[in-house]
């Protein structure tokens, strides 16, 4: 046995060599692949979907689903994307066995879409509740921007849903109501009194209107729809080759006295955005910026009457486009944004938010964006180049049935740990 005296007398070079050997051994052990069995895979899938550890009973159910029966001792891990893993993920998204998938994971996933700060620290609202309900009930998500649909909370002691406040949902959240069971589908036309033809799914919820139709020129609704549902901001969608005839008067043609800024920058966004944002010409949120994230006020719809906000700052360029109605045109069906995959079954033009919502939700980029966001939420990372086959398969699956819950299940099964 080496004494302390011997250690003290050990050559420095040998001590360094032993330390280096120890580090190399540790690195080698860390580099060894960690093989997760069905138990570990089930636990990881549940935690990623539901946000909390599973109970022993649920964990056993998921293991059994992975193995197709009781797992034998030392059972090997299932291959990513296998039917057993998808079946296990279905247990984690069942309201009876995975209620926190709806109350925590989905809620936190959607809340940033409902405010300009894109923060999760915002109150529950009708936009969030509607997405949660659509996922739970397997409502086709390619109707999310056009349907006459809103989910309300079926529970006693709540203020009624209103087109002038968010109290119904904020109180439900404060009371800790289980959203996995309490949400009930309704129509916006019945709840808010919005004409059916003027409803446009998530775009005409109270939360969306309060965030994106308040003040301004209603271009915010279009921009944040691109961010939330096409995974692109305007800077990545700019195309200066599109016609400029429907750019409004409020856009200066020589900002700072330099027309090149307009031609090289402003045109890139406004030539595509303004013709489509015209669909919102009859909408307004009449209110003020509230003390929190949610603005306060009342939803407005004035059929046949263009909101005054569309005509502000007309002196910036008097010869610019004057909005006469809510007709819209998708100029991005040509140029570089044709790659967004617009549906050939649609005309690419129309009137009002509902038909524009149909145009947007029918694009292949809409489907790919939802899939990419789900993958990142479940796998805790953005897709890599090696994941593209998975993203392509999930997008095709989503386009076939538009069931977002299935995408969550398949994404969880695609990255269960090895």
Query: What pLDDT shows up at residue 23?
Result: 52
Note the pLDDT of residue 187. 98
Does position 3 have pLDDT exceeding 80, yes or no? no
Give 73: exposed, middle or buried? Use CB within 10 Å, 0-12, 13-18, 19+.
Answer: exposed
Please state the rounded mean pLDDT for residues 349-376. 98
How far apart CA 62 and CA 78 sit, in angstroms, is: 12
Q: pLDDT tens, 216-239? A: 999 999 999 999 999 999 999 999
Residue 32 has pLDDT above 90, yes or no: no
Residue 33 has a pLDDT of 41
- Determine how β-strand 349-351 pairs with β-strand 150-153: unpaired
pLDDT digits (tens, 9 = 90+) for 370-386: 999 999 999 999 999 99
Mean pLDDT in residue range 319-330: 98
Give residue-wise pLDDT tens across range 41-54: 999 999 999 999 99
Name the pLDDT band for 204 (thresholds 50, 70, 90): very high
pLDDT at 396 over 80: yes
Tell me what the mean pLDDT of segment 181-207 comes to.
98
pLDDT above 80 for 338: yes
pLDDT score at 8:
42
Q: Assess whether pLDDT exceeds 90 at residue 273.
A: yes
- The vertex-173 CA angle with 167 and 177, nearest 5°, equals 120
Q: Residues 374, 123, 223, CA angle at the centre, nearest 5°?
A: 55
Q: Do 178 and 165 form a contact (C-beta atoms < 8 A)? A: no
pLDDT (average), residues 201-209: 98
Instruction: Give the whole-angstrom CA distance, residue 133 versus residue 115.
Output: 20
The two three-digit tokens of residue 202, written as one number: 């998530």
Q: What would the pLDDT profile of 286-303 be if each residue is shown by its tens digit?
A: 999 877 778 999 999 999
Mean pLDDT of the chain: 92
Domain residue ranges of the chain, discontinuous segments joined by +: 35-98+375-418, 104-362
* pLDDT for the residue numbered 285: 98
Confidence of residue 6 (pLDDT cuts 50, 70, 90): very low
- Judged against a pLDDT cut of 50, whether residue 31 lies above it is answered with no
Residue pair 192/153 in contact (Cβ under 8 Å)? The answer is no
pTM of the model: 0.90
Instruction: Please check the confidence at residue 4 and state whether its pLDDT lies above 60.
Output: no
Evaluate if residue 9 carries a pLDDT over 50.
Answer: no
- The position carrying tokens 């386009």 is 399
Is the pLDDT at 209 greater than 60? The verdict is yes
Q: Print the SS3 string covering the chain.
A: CCCHHHHHHCCHHHHHHHHHHHHHHHHHHHHCCCCCCHHHHHHHHHHHHHCCCCCHHHHHHHHHHHHCCCCCCCCCCCCCCCHHHHHHHHHHCCCCCCCHHHHHHHHHHHHHHHCCCCCCCCCCCHHHHHHHHHHHCCCCHHHCCCCCCEEEECCCCCCCCCCCCCHHHHHHHHCCCCHHHHEEEECHHHHCCCCHHHCCHHHHCHHHHHHHCECCCCHHHHHHHHHHHHCCCHHHHCCCCCCCCCCECCCCCCHHHCHHHHHHHHHHHHHHHHHHHHHHCCEEEEEECCCCCCCEEEEEECCCCCCHHHHCCHHHCCCCECCCCCEEECHHHCCHHHHHCCCCCCCCEEEHHHHHHHHHHCCHHHHHHHHHHHHHHHHCCCCCHHHHHHHHHHHHHHHHHCCHHHHHHHHHHHCCCC
Residue 11 has pLDDT above 60, yes or no: no
């Amino acid at each position: 046995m080496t004494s302390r005296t011997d250690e003290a007398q050990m050559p420095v070079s040998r001590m360094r060599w032993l330390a280096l050997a120890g580090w190399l051994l540790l690195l080698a052990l860390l580099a060894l692949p960690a093989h997760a069995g069905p138990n570990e895979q089930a636990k990881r899938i549940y935690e990623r979907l539901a946000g909390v550890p599973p109970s022993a009973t649920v964990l056993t159910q998921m293991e059994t689903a992975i193995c197709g029966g009781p797992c034998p001792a030392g059972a090997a891990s299932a291959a990513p994307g296998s039917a057993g893993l998808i079946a296990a993920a279905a247990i984690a998204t069942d309201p009876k066995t995975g209620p926190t998938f709806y109350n925590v994971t989905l809620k936190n996933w959607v809340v940033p879409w409902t405010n300009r700060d894109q923060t999760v620290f915002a109150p529950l609202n009708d936009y969030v509740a509607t997405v949660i309900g659509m996922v739970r009930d397997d409502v086709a998500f390619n109707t999310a921007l056009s349907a006459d649909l809103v989910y309300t909370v079926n529970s006693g002691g709540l203020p009624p849903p209103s087109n002038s406040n968010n109290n119904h949902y904020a109180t439900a959240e404060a009371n800790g109501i289980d959203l996995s069971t309490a949400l009930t589908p309704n129509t916006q036309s019945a709840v808010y009194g919005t004409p059916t033809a003027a409803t446009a799914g998530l775009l005409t919820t109270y939360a969306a209107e309060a965030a994106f139709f308040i003040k301004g020129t209603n271009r915010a609704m279009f921009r944040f729809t691109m961010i939330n549902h096409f995974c692109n901001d305007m800077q990545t969608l700019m195309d200066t080759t599109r016609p400029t005839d429907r750019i409004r008067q409020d856009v200066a043609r020589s900002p700072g006295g330099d027309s090149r800024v307009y031609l090289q920058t402003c045109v890139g966004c406004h030539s595509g955005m303004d013709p489509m944002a015209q669909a919102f010409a009859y909408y307004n949120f009449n209110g003020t910026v509230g003390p929190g994230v949610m603005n306060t006020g009342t939803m407005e719809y004035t059929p046949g009457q263009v909101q005054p906000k569309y005509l502000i700052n007309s002196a910036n360029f008097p010869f610019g486009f004057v909005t006469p109605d809510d007709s819209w045109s998708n100029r991005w069906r040509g140029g570089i944004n044709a790659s967004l995959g617009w549906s050939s079954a649609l005309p690419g033009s129309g009137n009002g938010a509902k038909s524009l919502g149909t145009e947007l939700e029918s694009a292949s980029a809409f489907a790919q964006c939802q899939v990419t966001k789900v993958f990142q939420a479940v796998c805790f990372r953005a897709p890599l180049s090696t994941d593209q086959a998975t993203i392509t398969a999930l997008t095709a699956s989503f386009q076939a049935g538009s069931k977002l819950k299935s995408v969550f299940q398949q994404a969880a099964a695609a990255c269960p740990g090895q």
